[in-house]
Structure 1
Amino acid sequence: MQGWKLGCLLGMMWLAQVTGGPAWAQQSEQRVPPQVVKLPLLVDGKQFEVVTHVYKPPGEGPFPLVIFSHGRAPSRVDRARLEYPVLVGHANYWLHKGVAVIAPVRPGYGDTGGLDREDSGARWSGNVCSGEPDFARVASRAGQTVVALHQWALQQPWVRKDRLLLEGQSVGGMTTVSVAALNLPGVVGAVNFAGGSGGNPESSPAKSCEPGSLRKTYGELGKLVKVPNLWLYAENDQYWGAEAPRQWHEAFKAGGSDTEFIQTGPVQGHDGHSLLTYGAKMWLVPLDAFVRKVGLTAP
């Protein structure tokens, strides 16, 4: 499910999933829900009414901004049910820092609807993957929505035009890295949570389809990404396993990008692919440090 179903089913879970979590995750009465809007965006030459979740801190701004990219469910039915493109609790992590968040429901998902534009071509029969997946195409097509939303954001008076951060999870994490390679105006960094494509944890746990192909894709992107970027994976990720993400990042880093890879310990009681959802204790410190590094909240 490429991290999607957790986002849908747990979107309204405003309390931390770990004991002793940070204050922004413990005080449910302070959780701010999204403003849900439909934005007329031109994606790949076609007009879409893209359902977008918007979170803004109090005041008029302008605010630093995170553009968040969601993951992908394997079934058409589940993709059609996508409701929360970013966890409410995680969006509130950013609000606590005075950072706004916008998270689009990309075409082919949820109430945005439309044809599926992000099929990689991977086909599973039990634990055997066939077909010739094109992960670069998936990232590029998903990224077109992010680019259109970035253009929209630059026109909003409440957005700081020089303080934008790209962030995503699973297929959205891979998409985030791909969009970072475009070096869009105002983007100061990128955060990749468990990014990848082609996983099948039910029949082929910890081993994705053609990981070498994705390694090649990441290697090419690493030659292009100029902004600092942070990659966060758990060692018990049942979509990719522990070794493939390290290889992906090594290939990416070889391109010269200013990048940091963190593989946490296992997410206890859960598939490590849900690191963003359940592993706040493990990602909070490195993500806070990265925010300071890129100056996202600098005056």
Structure 2
Amino acid sequence: MTVQTRYRQGLAAPLLAAACASAQAIHVPAVDAGMGEQVIAIPAKIAGADITLQTTIFKPPGDGPFPVLFMNHGKDGGDAHQQARARYPVISREFVKRGYAVVIPMRMGFAGSGGSYVNSHCQARENGEDQAASLYSAMAYVMKQPWADQQHVILAGQSHGGLTAIAAGSHNISGVRGVINFAGGVNSRSHCDWQAALVSAFKAYGAVGTTPTIWFYGANDTHFGPRLAADMYAAYTGAGGKAQLVAYGPFKRDAHGMSSSPDGVAIWLPETMRFLQSVGMPTEIKYKIKD
């Protein structure tokens, strides 16, 4: 459980270049640029309401079973139903290349999913648990599919989705090997101490969670800056949670969107590959993506 500040462009870029060069030396089958994209409606019963969850799925060709990445989205300002369907093409591409199925459920009240977004205001812990309810419904459906490897699952999320992934991971779900947190948190914009609420939430999650996690927070994140990230990390690990913090410094104008940028791959991919290896998940490139 160490804080990693060793990232420098001069370190990560050669690691990524070496990985790419190694992959190019091996013949791998090609996947269409669409990566087998499907959009389905997953039935769910959340808080007593029968709804469907608009869900994007990317898969390699074939029948599987494939290891599964559940990627959880953030929240834009305004009406959650007006938010666009999340696709995370940069992250999805890297995982499909390595033989993963990528599942991106829109949570209750977002985009084309039913129901209404639940704003728990300054109750960050409850907010994360409320959001995780949608993820559980998506997991219950997906893990019954013959193409899904039930024993090799990763939860990930960006911003509000990072909080969702950490909340779900704290329940130590069978088959979930690890959690990837890209700038996770929630700012309720209420007149309250939302930062303290976040720290308290991560402390509570760390007290019960045993699933290994890796966190990415940048120095110029306009939502969750380095001091808050360090406080959340200290609370989480101090309570017993397993975490690795990659504090990678500034990224463009706002590090909050690093994981969605093609330029961010050099930051998160090498560390993520090491993390995946440490939890028994595949990292070898099995497919190339057609342009």
Q: Tell me the TM-score normalized by structure 2.
A: 0.82
Q: What SS does structure 2 have at the residue aligned with 1:110?
A: coil
8 A contact 1:68–1:86 mirrored in 2:
no
8 A contact 1:33–1:88 mirrored in 2:
no
**Alignment partners' CA distance in 2, 1:192 and 1:86:** 17
What amino acid sits opposite 1:222 in the alignment? G
Alignment of 1:39-50 (within 5 A): 39-50=42-53
Instruction: State the 1:252 CA deviation.
Output: 0.1
**Alignment partners' CA distance in 2, 1:73 and 1:21:** 36
Alignment match, 1:288: 273
Q: Which runs of 4 or more aligned residues in structure 1 lie more than 4 Å from their structure 2 counterparts after TM superposition?
A: 20-23
> 1:272 is matched with which residue: 240, 251, 255?
255
Alignment match, 2:146: 157
> 1:235 is matched with which residue: 219, 224, 228?
219
Alignment match, 2:209: 225
> 1:59 is matched with which residue: 54, 58, 62?
62
8 A contact 2:159–2:185 mirrored in 1:
yes
Identity %: 25
**Alignment partners' CA distance in 2, 1:102 and 1:137:** 24
8 A contact 1:63–1:159 mirrored in 2:
yes
Q: Deviations over 1:181-221 (max 9, x none)?
A: 11111111101000011177xxxxxxx95211111110111
Alignment of 1:99-248 (within 5 A): 99-117=100-118, 119-121=119-121, 133-198=122-187, 210-248=194-232
**Alignment partners' CA distance in 1, 2:236 and 2:163:** 12
Q: Deviations over 1:56-97 (max 9, x none)?
A: 111110000011110011211xx2232332312211111011
**Is residue 2:77 matched to residue 1:74?**
yes
Unaligned runs of 5+ in 2: 1-16, 21-29, 285-291
Q: What SS does structure 1 have at the residue aligned with 2:208?
A: coil
Instruction: State the 1:33 CA deviation.
Output: 5.7
Q: Which structure's relative contact order is higher, taking Cα pairs within 8 Å and 6+ residues apart?
A: 2
Q: What SS does structure 2 have at the residue aligned with 1:223?
A: helix
What amino acid sits opposite 1:106 in the alignment? R
Instruction: State the 1:168 CA deviation.
Output: 0.3
Size of the alignment, in residue pairs? 257
Instruction: State the 1:224 CA deviation.
Output: 1.1
8 A contact 1:32–1:88 mirrored in 2:
no
8 A contact 2:125–2:204 mirrored in 1:
no
8 A contact 1:199–1:240 mirrored in 2:
no
* Aligned alpha-carbon RMSD (Å): 2.5
Q: Deviations over 1:119-155 (max 9, x none)?
A: 132xxxxxxxxxxx11112111100011111111221
8 A contact 1:135–1:214 mirrored in 2:
yes
Q: What SS does structure 2 have at the residue aligned with 1:111?
A: coil
8 A contact 1:52–1:103 mirrored in 2:
yes
